[in-house]
Copies of this chain bind each other. A is one copy, B any other.
Amino acid sequence: MAVTMNDVAKAAGVSLKTVSNVLNNYEFIRPATKQRVQDAIAELGYEANLTARSLRSGKTSMLGLVLSDLSAPYYAELASKLMNAAARHGYRVLVEQSDADPGAELNALQGPFRQLTDGLLFTPLSIGADAIAGRAGSKPLVMLGEHIVDPRFDLVTMKNGEAAQALTAHLLAGGRRRIAVIGAHPEESAGTAGLRLHGYRQALDQAGAPFDPALIAPGEWRRDAGAAAVAGLLDSGVEFDAVFGLNDVLALGALHELLIRGVSVPRDVAVAGFDDIDEARFASPSLTTVSPGMDEIAERSVALLLDRLSGRETAEAGVHVESGFELRIRESAP
């Protein structure tokens, strides 16, 4: 069997509870006693049993992260940074893939997954604010992304609208007039896709450029969907001189399809994305995109969640944090 606190207590000649007190940095312990306990711990190679601690204290020191698919580069990079941020505060991150499935998202919210974690970082994609509110329970919950902007929930996001507007303005400034958008989600308006599309339209309006619905292609946020969307546009005969992928993998799929079809980028068509994943910098041509400040997002969302856990943050209404952004102008849309 493993060494328990009881063994340590016996070895140090103190009570079980004193060992516990030493481990939990209880203030009033004589230095000599503390030393004896620590020596015993070192000698026996004692390691606290986290399961027992969790059962007794009700805390797991784990944060849950719910996202659709860990193999998507944006989520992979985000997860990596979140884990590092959490680790700095002594927490681990347990990841759950929802596949954007409503049932899976609900399960993550109330099932065993929730039980295993002290708080949740949640990227809802297919369920709404009311469904969440009804099942959120009492443990803290921080939303990531902007599918749900609701005063009831804490939210960490970026200035999607502003960023999309700035990026579109950049394309317009480069002389592009017919900017196709791919990856739109027609059903929603408040989600990430909706906000970015809104920013696009604002930029058009500001520049006095017309909005043409024929240029808006729906699609899931995957490389193949980006390629398919561009293929559809090309085949339909709609003219366009730029493509704005609502995220980077869409834009990279589009880029691929354009080049295959013999369309020169950026000469004939400029391409821009959103997210600034590592891959964007090394695409050929390299991809113009928006950097959402992922480090800041990761750091602040963990900080907010931990503030809720510790009770440092007590606001009744949801706290909304917005990170900054930066345009990354590269070869695909100079």
Would you call A49 an interface residue if the criterion is a C-beta within 8 Å of the partner chain's C-beta atoms?
yes
A80's partner among B93, B94, B97 (CB-CB below 8 A) is: B97
Residue of B nearest to A114 (CB): B47
Cβ contacts A31-64/B at 8 Å (1 or 0 each) = 0000000000000000111111011000010000
Would you call A283 an interface residue if the criterion is a C-beta within 8 Å of the partner chain's C-beta atoms?
yes
A-B contact pairs, 12 of them (CB 8 A): A51-B51, A51-B116, A70-B76, A70-B80, A80-B97, A92-B94, A223-B278, A223-B281, A223-B282, A256-B282, A259-B284, A284-B284
Residue of B nearest to A48 (CB): B112
| Contacting residues, chain B, for A253 (C-beta < 8 A) | 282
Q: Number of A residues whose C-beta is below 8 Å from B?
A: 47
Cβ contacts A278-289/B at 8 Å (1 or 0 each) = 110111101000
Smallest distance from the beta carbon of A178 to chain B beta carbons, Å?
Answer: 23
**When the two chains form their complex, are residues B49 and A51 in contact, meaning their CB atoms are under 8 A apart?**
no
Given contacts A47-B112, A223-B282, A279-B279, 8 further A-B contacts (CB under 8 A): A50-B115, A50-B116, A51-B55, A71-B79, A223-B279, A223-B281, A259-B284, A260-B284
In A241-287, the 8 Å CB interface with B consists of: 252-253, 255-256, 259-260, 278-279, 281-284, 286
**When the two chains form their complex, are residues A84 and B60 in contact, meaning their CB atoms are under 8 A apart?**
no
Top 7 A-B pairs, shortest CB-CB distance:
A76-B76, A71-B80, A70-B80, A256-B282, A71-B77, A51-B54, A259-B284
| Contacting residues, chain B, for A47 (C-beta < 8 A) | 111-112, 115
User: Which residues of A line the B interface, CB within 8 A?
Assistant: 47-52, 54-55, 60, 69-71, 73, 76-77, 79-81, 83-84, 92-97, 111-113, 115-116, 223-224, 227, 252-253, 255-256, 259-260, 278-279, 281-284, 286
Query: Which DSSP category, helix, strand, loop or mixed, fits chain A's interface?
Result: helix
> Assembly of this chain: how many copies?
2
| Contacting residues, chain B, for A50 (C-beta < 8 A) | 112, 115-116
A49's partner among B49, B115, B259, B282 (CB-CB below 8 A) is: B115
Residue of B nearest to A331 (CB): B260
| Contacting residues, chain B, for A83 (C-beta < 8 A) | 70, 95, 97
| Contacting residues, chain B, for A115 (C-beta < 8 A) | 47, 49-51
Smallest distance from the beta carbon of A37 to chain B beta carbons, Å?
Answer: 19
Q: How far is the CA of A286 from the CA of B253 in the complex (A)?
A: 11
**When the two chains form their complex, are residues A227 and B282 in contact, meaning their CB atoms are under 8 A apart?**
yes
Smallest distance from the beta carbon of A110 to chain B beta carbons, Å?
Answer: 8
| Contacting residues, chain B, for A256 (C-beta < 8 A) | 282-284, 286
| Contacting residues, chain B, for A93 (C-beta < 8 A) | 95
| Contacting residues, chain B, for A278 (C-beta < 8 A) | 71, 223
Q: How far is the CA of A259 from the CA of B94 in the complex (A)?
A: 40
Q: How far is the CA of A83 from the CA of B108 in the complex (A)?
A: 14
**When the two chains form their complex, are residues A80 and B73 in contact, meaning their CB atoms are under 8 A apart?**
no
| Contacting residues, chain B, for A286 (C-beta < 8 A) | 256
Q: How far is the CA of A81 from the CA of B278 in the complex (A)?
A: 21
Residue of B nearest to A137 (CB): B2
**When the two chains form their complex, are residues B95 and A95 in contact, meaning their CB atoms are under 8 A apart?**
yes
Q: How far is the CA of A199 from the CA of B33 in the complex (A)?
A: 61
